[in-house]
């Protein structure tokens, strides 16, 4: 017989569980940076592990020395890339006046004047168009520079993150055996095999995904750079780099990147004849970027999103769309990794469920 005391106890227990859940989510939110460092370190450890094993087996190095040499190689590679690209990015960014709101506004006003003259020559009233669309009130030049400044500040302040990632990765590799033994002791015996299998599969899929993502961004950046160089756009590298970086945001990022490329191309040719040079060049660049996106959407992305995480492109599209509606751009960025983790866990713990079998048959 259910008594009032039992009901009250159940309610209090439910409230306690809910409170703990809320506190857990809040705690995870507060340490999200540390979690990101751990995830990146885990992926880096997976990439580095074959090199460590090679040094230990073939060259008979001690474990600690093999780990130290491997991470030193990674650091030298990172320093080499930074030495090549960072000065170029900063130099071209300064030339393009990306950090100066007044310079952007001055260039934009000159562009507006040239566009007004061009439209008037075709019997179109620029002022009337802007008044009807109320576009001028929506243009905020400071927001452009704020975004670019925040992006560059983020890039320039990742030193502490890099040090943290390499420090964590060192111990992931050095004490790998101890971590596995500790995990086996902590995990419940009834689910130990399932959890360990899930972890191994998740690490494999996510490492493939992140490596593929880096390759995709590199390919897109090179193709963007080729398009900009073909049409003689100044500051081609910084424009290609920024637009490729936006490709991290699925589906929406490429559209934003193409729009940014069009605007920066017009600003680059601000001193040229508008109708003969600026407008045609901008259109050619937009067409070129569209072709790059066609190549990426039909060749590069399917390989990364489908083959690396073994998911159908329609699954990926729907997951990214839902995540974007619920959590915005951050949700779109992490949608694929989180979806992959959930699929692996579902397959390990509920292998006999029909609909889970359908969604996870390729994993």
Structure tokens at 186: 């902590």
The count of other CB atoms within 10 Å of the CB of residue 63 is 16
- Across the chain, mean pLDDT equals 77
Q: Is residue 144 part of a domain?
A: yes
Residue 81: C-alpha distances to residues 44, 77, 87 (Å):
17, 6, 10
Query: Which residues of the chain fall below pLDDT 70?
Result: 1-2, 84-108, 110-112, 118-119, 122-159, 183-184, 187-192, 302, 305, 363
- Chain Cα centroid distance, residue 133: 33
Q: Is residue 14 part of a domain?
A: no
Cβ–Cβ < 8 Å for 291, 273 = no
How does DSSP assign 192-219, residue by residue? Answer: HHHHHHHHHHHHHHHHHHHHHHHHHHHH
Predicted pLDDT of residue 147 = 53
CA distance 169 to 286: 41
Structure tokens at 362: 């390729």
Which residues, including other chains, have CB under 8 Å from residue 275's CB and lie 6 or more apart? Answer: 118, 121
pLDDT in tens, 221-242: 999 999 999 988 877 888 888 8
Q: Is residue 46 part of a domain?
A: yes
Angle between the N-to-C axes of helices 63-95 and 236-245, in degrees from 0 to 180, rounded to the nearest 10 = 120
**Collapsed DSSP state (helix, strand, coil) of residue 179:** helix
Predicted pLDDT of residue 69 = 93
Predicted pLDDT of residue 229 = 92
Predicted pLDDT of residue 242 = 82
Q: Is residue 6 part of a domain?
A: no
Predicted pLDDT of residue 245 = 84
User: What's the total number of domains in the chain?
Assistant: 1
Predicted pLDDT of residue 46 = 74
Written in H, E and C, the secondary structure of 230-278 is HCCCCCHHHHHHHHHHHHHCCCHHHHHHHHHHHHHHHHHCCCCCHHHHH
Domain around 147:
32-186
Which residues, including other chains, have CB under 8 Å from residue 67's CB and lie 6 or more apart? Answer: 48, 52, 170, 173, 174
Q: Is residue 8 part of a domain?
A: no
Is the pTM higher than 0.85? The answer reads no
Handedness of CA 350, 356, 359, 362 (dihedral sign): positive
Predicted pLDDT of residue 99 = 47
Q: Is residue 40 part of a domain?
A: yes
Predicted pLDDT of residue 291 = 92
Predicted pLDDT of residue 153 = 57
């Amino acid at each position: 017989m259910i008594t009032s005391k039992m009901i009250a106890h159940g309610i209090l227990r439910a409230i306690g569980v809910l409170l703990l859940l809320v506190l857990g989510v809040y705690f995870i939110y507060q340490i999200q940076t540390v979690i990101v460092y751990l995830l990146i370190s885990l992926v880096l450890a997976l990439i580095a592990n074959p090199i460590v094993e090679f040094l230990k087996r073939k060259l008979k190095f001690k474990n600690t020395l093999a780990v130290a040499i491997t991470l030193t190689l990674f650091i030298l590679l990172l320093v080499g890339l930074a030495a090549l690209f960072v000065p170029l990015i900063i130099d071209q960014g300064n030339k393009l006046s990306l950090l100066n709101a007044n310079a952007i506004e001055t260039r934009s006003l000159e562009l507006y004047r040239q566009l007004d003259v061009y439209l008037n020559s075709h019997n179109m009233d620029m002022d009337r168009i802007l008044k009807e669309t109320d576009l001028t009130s929506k243009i905020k030049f400071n927001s452009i520079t704020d975004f670019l400044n925040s992006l560059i500040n983020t890039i320039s302040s990742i030193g502490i993150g890099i040090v943290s990632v390499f420090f964590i990765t060192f111990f992931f590799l050095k004490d790998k055996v101890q971590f596995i033994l500790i995990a086996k002791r902590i995990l419940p015996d009834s689910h130990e095999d399932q959890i360990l299998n899930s972890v191994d599969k998740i690490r494999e899929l996510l490492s493939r995904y992140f490596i593929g993502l880096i390759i995709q961004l590199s390919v897109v950046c090179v193709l963007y750079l080729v398009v900009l160089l073909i049409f003689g756009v100044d500051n081609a590298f910084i424009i290609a780099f920024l637009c490729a970086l936006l490709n991290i945001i699925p589906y929406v990022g490429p559209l934003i990147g193409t729009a940014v490329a069009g605007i920066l191309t017009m600003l680059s040719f601000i001193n040229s004849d508008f109708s003969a040079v600026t407008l045609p060049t901008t259109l050619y660049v937009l067409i070129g970027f569209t072709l790059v996106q066609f190549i990426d959407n039909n060749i590069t992305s399917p390989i990364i999103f489908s083959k690396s995480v073994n998911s159908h492109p329609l699954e990926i599209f729907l997951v990214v769309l839902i995540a974007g509606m619920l959590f915005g751009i951050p949700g779109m960025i992490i949608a694929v990794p989180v979806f992959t983790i959930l699929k692996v866990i579902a397959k390990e713990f509920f292998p006999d469920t029909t609909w889970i079998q359908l969604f996870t048959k390729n994993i």
